Structure 1
Amino acid sequence: MAYLAELVLDEKATLGEGPHWDHQENKLYWVDIIGKKLHAFDPVTNKNRTLQFDQYIGAVVPGKTGQLILAMQNGIYRYELESKLLTLIADPESDKPNNRFNDGKCDPTGRFYVGTMDLNGKKGSGALYRLDRDGQLSKMLSSVTISNGLAWSPDGNEMYFIDTPTGEVAIYHYNQQFGDLSYKQPAVKIPQEMGSPDGMTIDQEGMIWVAHWGGSRVTRWDPHLGKQLDEVIVPAKNVTSCAFGGENLDELYITTARQGMNDDELLKFPQSGGLFKVKTDVQGVRGNHYRSSK
């Protein structure tokens, strides 16, 4: 069955990314990486609040009340919404000025996983990191090119990860107690003609939803069978990520980008860079907050 996504916000983001539904605030946080913008969308009022920063911002997750954790160009920061105070937590790649943080999410216990990439996508320049609840940072994966989609299985025993140029979603065994990974296998191989896998989310049935850069769609897969189950058609060329939101977690929010598109493509896909939404027949898994022990 094919769904069709509808435009919610014609934001024209250069690189819309990183949607995270905050179930406590009933808001969708999302970013425009290249625009250095953090957005907070309230579906009740249809208002999109924008905060402007002075460096690229790859991912956002809520922390303690009134706090956000931001993965940016020059490290991971704590941001106080009230005072607008930005405090550096960790900058593991200060020796790599051409790298920036990209996609990031919290595991079910509240640890923050976030990856890096070279600004020009140089092969193997990135890594995947884990920020523990006590603020300690560990490198989990090396030689990553474009660290992207992350998701945990509903039972928390598996982690899914996308390094975009591989064209694959990989499964890792996940140790919830310690937050450790061990590689299992490729779960899904995205056919080249469907674009490249970018961001990702998971539903309560354990099926993964993958955004397709260059593919105008989000697809739903059984990660254990490697079988495609559903598809969401998105009227934008570069689909970057998705997250379940809404009162019942059955609305899939989808981010898109205008980056790298020529005039003809922008004429064909004028809503590129917009925020989209589609009502689904399944419920998603709630996005996790960063739970600092400090």
Structure 2
Amino acid sequence: MSSKLELIIDAGAMLGEGPCWDKRQGLLYWVDIIGECIHVYNPHDGSDRAIPVGMMPGAVVLRESGGLVMAAGRGLYGLDAERGEPKEIAILQDEPAGNRFNDGKCDPAGRFWAGTMPMGESAPTGSLYCLDTEHSVARHAEAIYCSNGLAWSADHATMYYIDSPTKKVVAYEYDKQAGTIANPRTVVVIPEGEGVPDGMTIDDEGMLWIAQWDGWKVSRWNPADGTKIGEIAVPASQVTSCTFGGDRMDELYITTARVGLDEAALVEQPHAGGLFRIKLGVIGTESYLYKG
């Protein structure tokens, strides 16, 4: 199915998340939520630069006009990748104070979808939001435990979404023109004992690649019938997200976390919090750009 998984940055990230491939420059952006920084990995020279942002970035996306947009704290911000100075785009007015952003992506029309989650044990007070290209924010789902993976089908008719503790991937009918979702249905269920689904991406065959928190793996699923058709073992229990990159879009980048691991666990998985990569015989889809 693939070549050997390699550790490319032993970053020790507390909560690595949200990898996003910049095809224009051949760079990978990813975040350390608890570390309050955005990372920029350059595969050409092997460097990884951290950009402190002074708040917890749940997700970062590329902006068509240049720079980045991040979901962090209680708002959405434009960001210069060199200077790292957040500029407010929109603030969530009704979001509970104990919540934070967690994961997000741009849709095929260039809108930025990002969700929230409560910090600590709590009722499902998170929501899924969408920042449109005119900088207006709308809530599209609520009563979310832990907003996570997003992906869109090649025909732009379906949006896949994960609320982690449900252990499910749901498929929404997606209206690209209106930027709306409707009629969710379950398409994947993670088996008991294999952790919970976290971040997610999709390949050019329409198969979903799902990071499994507390599952030690990334798995590949067919959303048409809910069957698992492959998996990649990762030497870290808390696998958080994945995305395709590389010149041929056939390399899967995988983020992990070390938050909450005790000394014994870190002895067992010393590279938890690292960034991993594996070259696959599969072509992935590109990261959409924010067009606002």
Q: TM-score, normalised by structure 1?
A: 0.96
Shift of 1:277: 0.4
- The equivalent of 1:174 in structure 2 is 174
What's the counterpart of residue 32 of structure 2?
Answer: 32
Deviation at 1:83, TM superposition (A): 4.6
The structural deviation recorded for 1:80 is 2.1
Structure 2 vs 1, CA of residues 54 and 85 (structure 1 numbering), >3 Å: closer, same or farther? closer
1:92 offset after TM fit, Å?
Answer: 1.3
- What is the CA–CA distance in structure 1 between the aligned matches of 2:3 and 2:147, rounded to whole Å? 27
Q: Which amino acid aligns with 2:184?
A: K
* Paired letter, 1:188: V
Matched, 1:254 2:254: yes
Q: Give, in angstroms, the shift of residue 224 of structure 1.
A: 1.2
Instruction: Write out per-residue CA displacement over residues 140-165 of structure 1, whole angstroms, 9 at most, x where no aligned residue.
Output: 00111100000001111100000000
Q: Distance in 2 between matches of 1:119 and 1:248?
A: 38
Change (3 A) 1:233 1:83: closer
**Structure 2 unaligned runs (5+)?**
none
Instruction: For structure 1, list consecutive stretches of 5 or more residues without a partner in the other structure.
Output: none
DSSP-derived class of the 1:265 partner:
helix
What SS does the aligned partner of 1:259 have?
A: coil
**Could you list the runs of 4 or more consecutive aligned residues of structure 1 that deviate by over 4 angstroms after TM superposition?**
1-4
Q: Deviations over 1:57-94 (max 9, x none)?
A: 11000114442101102211111234543211112146
Q: Percent identity?
A: 44
Partner of 1:263: 263
1:107-151 per-residue CA deviation (whole Å, 9 max, x = no partner) reads: 111011000011115231100001111111110001111000000
Structure-2 change in CA distance of 1:121 and 1:91 (3 Å): farther
CA contact (8 A) 1:213 1:239 kept: yes
Alpha-carbon distance change, 59 to 95 in structure 1, aligned in 2, over 3 angstroms: closer
Residue 91, structure 1, aligned to residue 99, structure 2 = no
Map of 2:245 onto structure 1: 245
- Distance in 2 (CA, whole Å) between partners of 1:252 and 1:263 is 29
Aligned residue for 2:267, secondary structure, equals helix
1:145 aligned partner: 145
1:275–1:110 distance in 2 versus 1, CA, 3 Å: same
Aligned partner letter, 1:173: E
After superposition, what is the alpha-carbon deviation per residue over 1:244-283, rounded to whole angstroms, capped at 9, x for unaligned? Answer: 0000100000000001111111111111000000111110
Give the 3 Å change call, closer, same or farther, for CA 3–166 of structure 1 in structure 2.
farther
User: Within 5 Å, which residues of 2 pair with 1:212-291?
Assistant: 212-291=212-291
Q: In 1, Cα distance between the equivalents of 2:133 and 2:234?
A: 36
**Aligned AA for 1:130?**
C
Instruction: From the superposition, tell whether residues 198 and 93 of structure 1 become closer, same or farther in structure 2 (CA, over 3 Å).
Output: farther
User: In structure 2, do the counterparts of structure 1 residues 31 and 13 end up closer, same or farther at CA, with 3 Å as the change threshold?
Assistant: same
Decide whether aligned partners of structure 1 residues 2 and 237 sit closer, same or farther in structure 2, where only a CA change above 3 A counts.
farther
Report what 2:194 is aligned to. 194
Rounded Cα–Cα distance in structure 2 between residues aligned with 1:84 and 1:256: 23
Distance across 2 between alignment mates of 1:144 and 1:278: 32
**TM-fit CA distance, 1:284:** 0.5
Find the residue that maps to 2:34 and give its secondary structure. Answer: coil
In the alignment, the residues of structure 2 paired with residue 230 and residue 207 of structure 1 have an alpha-carbon distance, to the nearest angstrom, of: 10
- Using the alignment, how far apart are the partners of 2:94 and 2:9 within structure 1? 35
Q: Which amino acid aligns with 1:255?
A: T
In structure 1, C-alpha distance between the alignment counterparts of 2:82 and 2:284, rounded to whole Å:
30
Please name the residue that 2:123 is paired with: 123
The one-letter code matched in structure 2 to 1:98 is G
Count of matched residue pairs:
292
Report the alpha carbon displacement of residue 54 of structure 1 after superposing the two structures with TM. Answer: 1.4
* TM-score normalised over the length of structure 2: 0.97
> How far, CA to CA, are the matches of 1:77 and 1:23 in structure 2?
22
Question: 2:59 matched to which residue of 1?
Answer: 59
- CA RMSD in angstroms, aligned pairs only: 1.3
Contact 2:4 2:279 in 1 (8 A): no
* Paired residues of 1:3 and 1:232 also in contact (CA < 8 A): no
SS at match of 2:156: coil
- In structure 2, how many angstroms separate the alpha carbons of the residues matched to 1:272 and 1:8? 12
2:6 partner amino acid:
E
What is the distance in 1 between the residues matched to 2:216 and 2:60? Answer: 24
